[in-house]
């Protein structure tokens, strides 16, 4: 295995910090730390949605405040606006119920290009007041996904397979730097007839702070990855590993140690998403990873899969809700209550019978 020493470019890119949206940065040495700016209120964001999304214009209930979200419902749809309004999810249950009937042969999938253009068109038409892109940002296709169905009779007959929904996920680049993690994502899901089944976005408003982070060299990021994953897998991953010239986006597997493989790595700003972030925490440089470890042999091979992000700045700032940052900075992570052993300290009671189902209405 080749050991590469010395610093190489962190992102295969960089130049002056302020670039036009289409320019690619090269040899980036430092990036400014971002902070999140409040959108105001979820009510104001809901108002924007109701003025933009056709389905929300009629039959909506009064907004209902729930824990961490504001909800309106219609005859067959539900719209949740999360937190301060930077995230939301729409689901049309009637469309979802039609998905099966519109199933398509997997060989006749909606192409990625069509899915991207259809998704972009929807975002521009219906969500442009929510998915705001300053001049230095651009919307980029992050991934696509398909929801498939299949089935068969117990004798193996009548087997079928169909794609029932198609999903486009967009993210954003800020001055050419991608945002990794669950934050800064817009997902639109289409049935095969083009109906929007659902959309969900997590689109915080970022502000450039006065603080600048110097980027760690790729070899250091790989060492951090080994350290973090070594802790998670409880394996010694201290041996030298291959460090590619650019680690902005690794898509080919790299062995981190015996039985432990890095599947992919994507570097940029790291935002874990509204479900996991501390809104007051800085948005800083990070590399999102997928790692798998295998144990066992023959017929009994178990795969353990890990995802997360390692800080990519030489001196990352504290973020109590970023476990890998806590490891790198030496901060203790809170322990969780464990499951007990069955039968110990448990008052054994008879299992109650299941209630009689209510008659259909």
Partner 1 sequence: MRFRISVITFVTFVVSTRASDLGAQVGHSAMEVGTRCQQEYQNDWMPDVGNSDVWRRCNKFNDQIKQTDNLRFYYNLHGAKPVLEQTNDGCGQGCGSADSVDFLYMNGHAGANASTAFWDMWDQNTRAFSSNMRLGDTSRQLMVLATFACKTLLLSDGNANILARWQPPFSGGLVMATGAQDNLYSGNDQSATEFASRMQDGQPIGLSWLESAWYADNSNRPTFMNTGRDANDCSNRSQVTLPALFGTPILRDSAIGFFCWASWS
Please, which residue, 10 or 199, has the CB nearer to partner 1?
199
Question: Does position 173 bind partner 1 by CB under 8 A?
Answer: no
Instruction: Give 238-242's long-range contacts (Cβ < 8 A, gap of 24+).
Output: 240/1, 240/3, 241/1, 241/3, 242/1, 242/2, 242/3, 242/4
Residues 55, 92 contacting (CB under 8 angstroms): yes
Region near partner 1 per CB under 8 A, out of 2-10, 110-118, 129-137, 231-239: 231-239
Member of 97, 112, 121, 140 binding partner 1 (CB under 8 A): 97
Please give the size of the binding site for partner 1, defined by CB under 8 A. Answer: 87
91 binds partner 1 (CB under 8 A): yes
Q: Which stretch binds partner 1 (CB under 8 A): 8-16, 50-58, 126-134, 149-157?
A: 149-157
Cβ neighbours around 79 below 10 Å, total: 25
Per-position x/- string for 325-344, each x denoting binding to partner 1 as judged by CB under 8 A, each - no binding: --------xxxxxxxxxxx-
* 3-class DSSP assignment, residue 233: helix
- Which of 151, 251, 252, 297 forms a contact with partner 1 (CB under 8 A)? 151
CA distance 339 to 99: 39
Should residue 84 be labelled a site residue for partner 1 when binding is judged by CB under 8 A?
A: no
Q: Segment 267-306, which members bind partner 1 (CB under 8 A)?
A: 272-273, 275-276, 290, 292-293, 295-296, 299-306
| CA separation, residue 208 to residues 76, 178, 186, 212, 213 (Å) | 41, 15, 22, 9, 12
Candidates 156, 210, 280, 330; binder of partner 1 (CB under 8 A) is: 156
Exactly one of 24, 147, 205, 227 binds partner 1 (CB under 8 A); which one?
Answer: 147
Nearest Cα to Cα of residue 162 among 109, 97, 105, 112: 105
Among 217, 308, 311, 316, binds partner 1 (CB under 8 A): 308
Here the tokens at position 93 are: 């249950």
């Amino acid at each position: 295995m080749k050991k590469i020493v010395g610093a190489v470019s962190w992102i295969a890119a960089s130049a002056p910090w302020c670039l036009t949206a289409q320019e690619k940065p090269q040899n980036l040495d430092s990036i400014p730390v971002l902070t999140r700016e409040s959108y105001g209120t979820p009510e104001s964001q809901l108002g924007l949605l109701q003025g933009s999304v056709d389905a929300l214009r009629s039959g909506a209930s009064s907004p209902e405040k729930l824990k961490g979200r504001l909800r309106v419902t219609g005859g067959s749809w539900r719209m949740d606006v999360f937190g301060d309004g930077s995230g939301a999810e729409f689901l049309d249950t009637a469309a979802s119920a039609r998905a099966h009937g519109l199933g398509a042969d997997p060989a006749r999938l909606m192409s990625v290009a069509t899915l991207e253009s259809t998704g972009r068109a929807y975002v521009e038409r219906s969500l442009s007041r929510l998915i705001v892109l300053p001049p230095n940002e651009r919307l980029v296709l992050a991934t696509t996904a398909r929801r498939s169905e299949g089935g068969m009779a117990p004798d193996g007959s009548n087997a079928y397979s169909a794609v029932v929904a198609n999903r486009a996920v967009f993210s954003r680049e800020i001055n050419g730097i991608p945002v990794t993690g669950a934050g800064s994502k817009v997902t639109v899901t289409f049935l095969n007839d083009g109906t929007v089944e659902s959309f969900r976005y997590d689109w915080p408003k970022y502000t450039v702070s006065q603080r600048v982070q110097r980027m760690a060299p790729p070899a250091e990021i790989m060492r951090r990855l080994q350290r973090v994953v070594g802790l998670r897998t409880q394996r010694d991953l201290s041996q030298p590993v291959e460090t590619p010239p650019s680690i902005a986006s690794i898509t080919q597997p790299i062995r981190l140690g015996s039985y432990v493989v890095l599947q992919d790595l994507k570097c940029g700003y790291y935002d874990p998403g509204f479900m996991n972030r501390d809104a007051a925490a800085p948005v800083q440089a990070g590399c999102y990873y997928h790692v798998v470890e295998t144990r066992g042999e023959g017929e009994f091979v178990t795969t353990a899969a890990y995802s997360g992000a390692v800080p990519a700045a030489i001196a990352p700032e504290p973020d109590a809700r970023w476990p890998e940052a806590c490891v790198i900075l030496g901060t203790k992570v809170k322990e969780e209550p464990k499951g007990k052993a069955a039968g110990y300290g448990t008052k054994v009671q008879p299992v109650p019978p299941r209630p009689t189902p209510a008659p259909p209405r």
